[in-house]
Structures are given as structure tokens and as C-alpha cells.
Chain A
Amino acid sequence: MATRQTQFLARSLLTPAVGLLFIWMIVPLALTLYFSTLHYSLLDPGSEAFIGLENFRYFLTDPAFLASLQNTLVLVGSVLALTILLGIPLALLLDQPVIGRNFVRLMVIAPFFVMPTVSALVWKNLLMHPVSGLFAWLAKLVGLTPVDWFNDVPLFSVILIVAWQWLPFATLILLTALQSLDEEQKEAAEMDGASAVSTFIYITLPHLARPITVVILIETIFLLTVFAEIYVTTGGGPGLSTTNIAFLIYAQALIQFDVGSASAGGLVAVVIANIVAFFLVRIVGRNLEA
């Protein structure tokens, strides 16, 4: 069927996209790789010199790196746990016969469409302010001491905000998956006298395994590079307590103007993201066959 002419046409239609993405991927990465081997500071122009792996040694042995790696892992892990552990019951609830379900679904999804700078500032000020925030008022109402969120538990505060943004995503994907679950299978199980709990464990949960994996992988990709929420609330502090890898690299590049070491950090971030990406691409690829 496909003549040589249509093949040629097909290829020429594909070329611009492939070419652009190739340049977009290769040029900055090659430059990052090149800069990472230089002593290169924007504050000290003209002093560029090749220093081999020195930047990597500096970046990886910097105590800030270990702290930020730990913060990154805690942030990603906690947000994943919160969004999935809350997302599953929420999706199950929305899958029930609920009066006004469409409206409830709109309310649940809304946070995902709020730009990160807005969510972070509204939470930090209107809700989490230690004196005038709504949480402080609620705490006093029930006789508790208000928490000074961004001083006492800064990383946890960031985690709460980010989890609020991503809970709708997890819920929506799990709900979509639930709705494709075969009703008959569930009814048959109920008919055979299976309790709601065992129906959930033996039928629903296995069905959710794949969507949960997808949620974990996609959220991880985005959560590894959480930036705006930290930028507008804590600026990485107090101390290093909310600095993640993305923010550390940003600080080295655009606050300290240390191009070499920021580039080395950038490559470290790329390696970490690639480990996750490897698994995601395999799962999506398998889906492409089916």
C-alpha cells in the first residue's frame, strides 16, 4: 500500500519534531557536561579552566548535597504516600453512587489547576500563618497551641502543600481505572458471599496495581523537581531544611553564580531522574504493544 512517495512524505513530516527535540535534548546536556568539567564562575569571568571531575567531587561531598538529597527523598516519598493513601479511599468513594457526583469531582480536581505559586502563597499566608492563619485559629478553638508551620516543621509544610496539589491527580487516575473495572466481576464475587473487604483486596486492588504504578512513576518525575513551592515559601530554609536538589542547583547557579558546580549538580539530577524514567518508559512501552 505505502508507496515510496508516501513514505518519503511521512518521514519529512516527522523530521521537524524529531530534529527540534533532538537539539533540545542534546545541546543543553552537552553544554552541562562541558561546564561541569570547568572552573567557571560568573562572578570571576575569564578564569575558566579545565579541572576534570573536581566539580563533582565538590558537589557530591558538599554537606548541602547530602542534606538536599535527604530532603528530596523525604519530600517525594511523603507526597507519594499521602496522595496514594488518601487517593485510593477518595477514588473508591467517588466511584460509589453519590448524589451530585460531578460537582464533587470538580471540587476534588480543582487544586491541580491552581498554579504552584498561588497554592504555595495562599497556604503559607491564609492558612498556615502562626497568628492569623486559619489553622492557628482552629487550633486555638480546640484548645491547642498553634503550630508555627514554616519555622517548626518547614519541610512538612512544603510536603502538605505539594500533596494537596497532587492528590487530585492520583484520585482522578485511580477513579478512571476503577470505572473501567468490570462490574460483573465484582457482582459475581459479592454473589459468592465475598465481603466488601475481600472484594477490595482480591479484585479491586490487583486491578489498581498498574494505575498506582503509573501514578508513582509520573508523580516521582515531577516531585523530584519541585521548585516554585520552595522558592516562594521558604527559599530553601531555615538553614537547609527545605532545600531539595533542584533548589540547591538553582541556588548554586543563579545565587552563587558557580556554573561549574551547578552543572555537575544538574548532571546528578539527570541521572537520578533517568533511573525513574527507565521504569516508566518500559511500562508505557509495554502498553503501546497492546
Chain B
Amino acid sequence: MARMATRQRVVISTIGAWLFGFLIFFPILWMVLASFKTELEAFAIPPSFLFFHWTLENYATVQERSDYFHHAMNSIIIAGGSTLIALLIAIPAAWSMAFSPTKRTKDILLWMLSTKMMPPVGVLVPIYLIFKTFGLLDSRIGLVFILCLGNLPIVIWMLFTYFKEIPRDILEAARMDGATIGRELVYVLTPMAIPGLASTLLLNLILAWNEAFWTLNLSTSNAAPLTTFIASYSSPEGLFWAKLSAASTLAIAPILVLGWFSQKQLVRGLTFGAVK
């Protein structure tokens, strides 16, 4: 009896979960399918789900007509650059707060968090004018700078919560053995901190890759990353669904893969450690 009930429960919850999961994932699947159709098929009613003429021509067209790789490269430079610089600034800060906390550490952490709460649109005007004055509009360096500062609080917070988990006894043992701070950092801390560093890096790459307020407002063509490039499909000419789908599939594929690896860290990073 009890066994039957359990088996039944597994079957029901499995069907339910797969159904929900499929529904939620469907828009992405539909987009990927459309990217392999011809423009006419992508627009056709009734739509064809699998039995259409599969083609790669959209991928070729997207590259030829709009220099896709240029924008992909911008995304890589902007997301990668801003994340790396943020890490370089955040590692010492988080290390210092985790291992030599003072009375004010908590206040500093909360203050950093509060800078993340500032809505970007509140400072759009001055940032835009500063960028205009210094010729930073539509420049990659400007976007690297802005995204780095925007994500810095999250990077520091994530690193702080990871560093906090490194047992302090080990550090003290190393200190007793006469290790200097430099050696302690290189031989004891770094190996233990690498998983935390990796997940912080991953989550911030994702956030920076998908950032679509500053990139849309501060870049037009030269420095335009994929977010801005895709936005140019909002005022298209002629049939464009298959091309839009191909460009979109390429734009989200790498981040989808990274994202799936970082699910656990996502919760921790985005809730500032409030939910683990």
C-alpha cells in the first residue's frame, strides 16, 4: 500500500515537473528551432515544429551582414574585463574584512550593499554627461569601468562569505609556524579560496554579459556588446525572425552553459548570502 503510494507520487510529480519545466524552457527551444528555419518558415502559420527544411544560412547571414563577431568580442572584453578588474579590487578588500575584521566591518559591508541598491537611472544623467565630456560614449573602456563599479559590491560580498568559511585554525597554525602574511596568502589561503573565487568569477561574468541598462544607453556601434546588437532588431526591415533567432541563440549559448554550472552560487551571490 505505502509503496504503491510512493511510486504513484513519483510518477505524478515527475510528470508535473517535466511539464512545467518544458513550458518554462519552451520559448528558448522555440527560438533555437526558428534559428534553423528559413525566414518564410519561421513566419509561417501553421508553424512547423521539427519537420522543416533545416538550414544554417541564418547564422552565416548574421555574421556577414552585421559583423556578429565584432559585437561578441565587445561582450567578451566588457564582461571579462570588468569582472577581472572587480576581482582584483575585491580580493584584498574581502580578505581584509574576513580575516582582520574591525568594529566597523559590518557597517562597511552593509554600506557597500546599499550602493548596489542605487537605481542606475538615478545617475544616468551625470554618467552620460561625464562620458560625453571625456569622449567615453560608445567606448569599451568606459563600459568596462561602469560595469566593474556596478558589480563590485556583489563581488566583494560573495568573496567575503566564501573567505569567512575558511577555517581560521588553519591560518593560526600557519602563523605559529612562522609563515608571513605573504606566504600565508599564497600557500594556505589561495588553494582554499579557489572554489569561491571561481564561482564569483562565473556569476559576475553572467551578470556583466547580460547587463542591459548601461550597455544600451552608453554604446551604439563601436563598443556595442551583444545586448545592444540584439536590441537593433527592434526596428528591423522585412522578415527577420530567423536571423533574430540565430543571433540570439549565439548570444545566449555561452552564458547558458556557464549559468548552468553556477546555479548554486547564483542564489548565494544574488541574495548577498541571505539564502544559502
Contact = CB atoms under 8 A, between A and B. Distances in A.
A32 B263 CA distance: 37
A11 B89 CA distance: 13
A228 B213 contact: yes
Given A114-B252, A118-B252, A176-B275, A225 B121 contact: yes
A7 B100 contact: yes
A67 interface: no
Given A116-B212, A134-B30, A214-B275, A274 B121 contact: no
A127 B30 contact: yes
Contact of B267 (A17, A114, A173, A231): A173
A239 interface: no
A211 B260 CA distance: 22
Interface residues of B, number: 98
Interface stretch (A151-159, A198-206, A261-269): A261-269
A57 interface: no
B97 interface: yes
A75 interface: no
Contacts of A283: 274
Which of A266, A267, A273 has the most chain B CB atoms inside 10 A of its CB?
A: A266
Contacts of A126: 27, 30-31, 34, 42, 241, 245
A141 B92 CA distance: 60
Interface in B228-276: 228, 230-231, 233-234, 241, 244-245, 248, 251-252, 255-256, 258-260, 263-264, 266-267, 270-276
Contacts of B121: 225, 227, 245-246, 249-250, 266, 269
Contact of B119 (A14, A115, A246, A281): A246
A144 interface: no
A273 B272 contact: no
B60 interface: no
Interface in A11-33: 11, 13-14, 16-18, 20-21, 24-25, 27-29, 31-32
A269 B153 CA distance: 20
Given A105-B263, A110-B256, A13 B234 contact: no
A246 B106 CA distance: 31
Contacts of A96: 9-10, 13, 17
Best-buried of B47, B113, B230, B256 by chain A (most CB within 10 Å): B230
Nearest to B20: A90
Interface stretch (B50-58, B62-70, B122-130, B190-198): B122-130
- Among B10, B30, B125, B181, the one with the most A-chain Cβ atoms within 10 Å of its Cβ is B125
Contacts of B25: 107-108, 110-111
Interface string A239-277: 000000110011001100001001100110110111011
Contact of B118 (A6, A104, A273): A273
Interface in B89-131: 89-90, 92-93, 95-97, 99-100, 102, 106, 108-110, 112-130
B276 to A, nearest CB: 7
A23 to B, nearest CB: 9
A165 to B, nearest CB: 10
A2 B47 CA distance: 70
B220 to A, nearest CB: 12
B276 A176 contact: yes
Interface SS of B by simple majority: helix
Interface string A85-108: 000001001101111110111111
Contacts of A273: 117-119, 122
Interface residues of A, number: 104
B126 A233 contact: no
B27 A123 contact: yes
Given A13-B93, A14-B96, A228-B231, A284 B272 contact: yes
A185 interface: no
Given A107-B21, A116-B227, A280 B117 contact: yes
A108 B21 contact: yes
A21 B271 contact: no
24 contacts: A11-B96, A21-B115, A21-B149, A96-B9, A96-B13, A99-B10, A100-B18, A104-B20, A105-B263, A107-B25, A109-B266, A112-B266, A113-B256, A121-B244, A122-B31, A134-B30, A164-B24, A172-B263, A225-B119, A246-B121, A249-B122, A254-B124, A272-B119, A284-B274
Given A246-B119, A287-B274, 18 more contacts: A32-B123, A97-B6, A108-B20, A108-B21, A109-B266, A110-B256, A111-B27, A126-B245, A218-B270, A225-B119, A228-B216, A249-B124, A254-B217, A274-B117, A283-B274, A284-B274, A285-B106, A288-B273
Interface of A: 2, 6-7, 9-11, 13-14, 16-18, 20-21, 24-25, 27-29, 31-32, 35, 90, 93-94, 96-101, 103-119, 121-123, 125-127, 131-132, 134, 136-137, 164, 167-169, 172-173, 176-177, 180, 210-211, 214, 218, 221, 224-225, 227-228, 231-233, 245-246, 249-250, 253-254, 259, 262-263, 266-267, 269-270, 272-274, 276-277, 280-281, 283-285, 287-288
